[in-house]
Amino acid sequence: MKVKNIGLIMKKDLKGLGHERTILLAILLQLFIALFSSFLMVGLTSMYDPTALQKNSTFRYPVAYTGTDSNLHDLLASDRGLRVYDMELAPALQSLKERKLAAVVYVPDTKPDAVDPVKITLYTIKNDIQAAVVGVKLKDSFLKYETELRQIRATRIEEVPVPLEIPQSTGGSDYYEFVYGLLIPLLVIMPAIISSALVIDLITEEYQNNTLETLLSTPIRANEIFWGKVLAALVLVPVQAGIWLFLLGLNGIAIVNAPQILVYVTLAALVLILVASITAMYYRERTAAQFIYSTAIVVLMLFSLALPDNPMNIIAKLATGSAGNEQWLVLGLIIAAVMVISLLTNRYAAKAMRINQAPR
């Protein structure tokens, strides 16, 4: 194979990427995420952790306390995020309906040392994000009050409970898991998935537009056409992933071992691209090839994510600087897969691209 001929095919396909609107939109979406990762991180984190913004918020949620007076009132009043109002139940519920209150707490007249349980009723607005935030804030006061009730009723315990010594948390960033466990692996893996879908378009369009015979009539060989398209899709992966990591760094997200991450992503992308190219050469029709490949890639990703040392975990560990010797084992397996699939794909391409059959 001649490197010059491969370069010509790469240049031709890279010039044609401007017409692939779907691919360009996907790349622009990733660019937007990487550029504004700090801003998006706040919003996305608050979706699964409503208290993520608590330390940055000075707003005090209005809560009505109704029913019998108890120590729970003092616990709620001591919370800096709550503003407690003493009200009757009926007007409190009306104010809640009018959204003048964030929640209503009703405490029955059951004495703390009574035999019956103390059943506290919490009223909030249904399907409201504010209700989730207030519920988390109220939970701390409820747990403290529950502990007090347990201490008051401790004389009823016939069996001595086993004390549990749970080490205290050392604390950490609210966004640590989201950034290093999801955002970084997702941003660097997506270019590999997009490029593997791109190579299907690059190959099938030659069959569907009947331009493959024209290319083969030139001094360019079938293998050179194949590898030119593969490398055209592959070269985008480290470029995109490198830009994403750089932009994340500008957003104040520290990333360790960025070069190693790019090596892993590039090799993993080559595996996906080669598998996609085999699919494209076999079906020779874009819709069928994309469907079969998309189904296969979902199954492959689900299987890989079930493994403890899958590529996503390795990338997360590399980004935090906590990767051990397992990274070299995974790297060796990826390299072995690249070599085997490359050999098989190269042989198949030499035959598939010389046969001009109707699309299947």
Higher confidence at residue 1 or residue 276? 276
Summarize pLDDT for 332-353 with one digit per residue, the tens: 888 898 898 888 888 887 777 6
Residue 292 and residue 193 share a domain: yes
Token reading at 276? 């996609």
Whether residue 38 is predicted with pLDDT greater than 60 in this model: the reply is no
pLDDT band at 64 (very low <50, low <70, confident <90, very high): very high
pLDDT band at 248 (very low <50, low <70, confident <90, very high): confident
pLDDT for residue 122 = 93
Q: φ, ψ for residue 186 (rounded to 5)?
A: -65, -40
Residue carrying structure tokens 């790349």: 27
Residue carrying structure tokens 């390795």: 314
Which of the residue ranges 5-9, 22-26, 42-46, 164-168 would you say has the lowest mean pLDDT? 42-46
pLDDT band at 178 (very low <50, low <70, confident <90, very high): confident
Residue 313 and residue 262 share a domain: yes
Which of the listed ranges 18-32, 93-107, 153-167 does the model predict with the highest average pLDDT? Answer: 93-107
Residue 208 and residue 345 share a domain: yes
Do 281 and 274 touch, CB atoms closer than 8 A?
Answer: no
Whether residue 7 is predicted with pLDDT greater than 90 in this model: the reply is no
pLDDT band at 174 (very low <50, low <70, confident <90, very high): low
**Residues β-bridged to residue 121:** 106
9, part of any domain: yes
169, part of any domain: no
Residue 135 and residue 60 share a domain: yes
The span from the CA of 346 to the CA of 351, in Å, is 9
State the SS3 of 107-150: ECCCCCCCCCCCCCEEEECCCCHHHHHHHHHHHHHHHHHHHHHH
pLDDT band at 227 (very low <50, low <70, confident <90, very high): confident
pLDDT for residue 75 = 92
In three-state secondary structure terms, 213 is helix
pLDDT for residue 246 = 85
**Whole domain around residue 145: which residue ranges?**
52-152
Residue 62 and residue 36 share a domain: no
C-beta atoms surrounding 192 within 10 Å:
27
The span from the CA of 134 to the CA of 129, in Å, is 9
The helix or strand, by DSSP H or E, that contains position 82, with its residue range, turns out to be strand 82-86
Whether residue 47 is predicted with pLDDT greater than 60 in this model: the reply is no
Report percent pLDDT > 70 for the chain.
83
165, part of any domain: no
Residue 255 and residue 148 share a domain: no
pLDDT band at 26 (very low <50, low <70, confident <90, very high): low
pLDDT for residue 19 = 63
- The side-by-side arrangement of strands in the sheet containing 121-124 is 82-86, 61-67, 103-107, 121-124
Token reading at 180? 């290093």
Q: Measured on CA atoms in the order 72, 77, 80, 82, is the torsion positive or negative?
A: positive
Whether residue 315 is predicted with pLDDT greater than 60 in this model: the reply is yes
Report percent pLDDT > 90 for the chain.
19
In three-state secondary structure terms, 106 is strand
337, part of any domain: yes
Which of the residue ranges 60-64, 122-126, 158-162, 313-317 would you say has the lowest mean pLDDT? 158-162
Give the CATH number, domain containing residue 74: 3.40.190.10
Token reading at 162? 């086993």
pLDDT band at 358 (very low <50, low <70, confident <90, very high): very low
Do 222 and 9 touch, CB atoms closer than 8 A?
Answer: no
Q: How far is CA 260 from CA 180, 234, 256, in A?
A: 15, 17, 9
Whether residue 357 is predicted with pLDDT greater than 50 in this model: the reply is no
Q: State how many domains the chain has.
A: 2
360, part of any domain: no
The span from the CA of 151 to the CA of 129, in Å, is 34
Do 179 and 52 touch, CB atoms closer than 8 A?
Answer: no
Average confidence (pLDDT) over 198-219? 82
Residue 178 and residue 84 share a domain: no
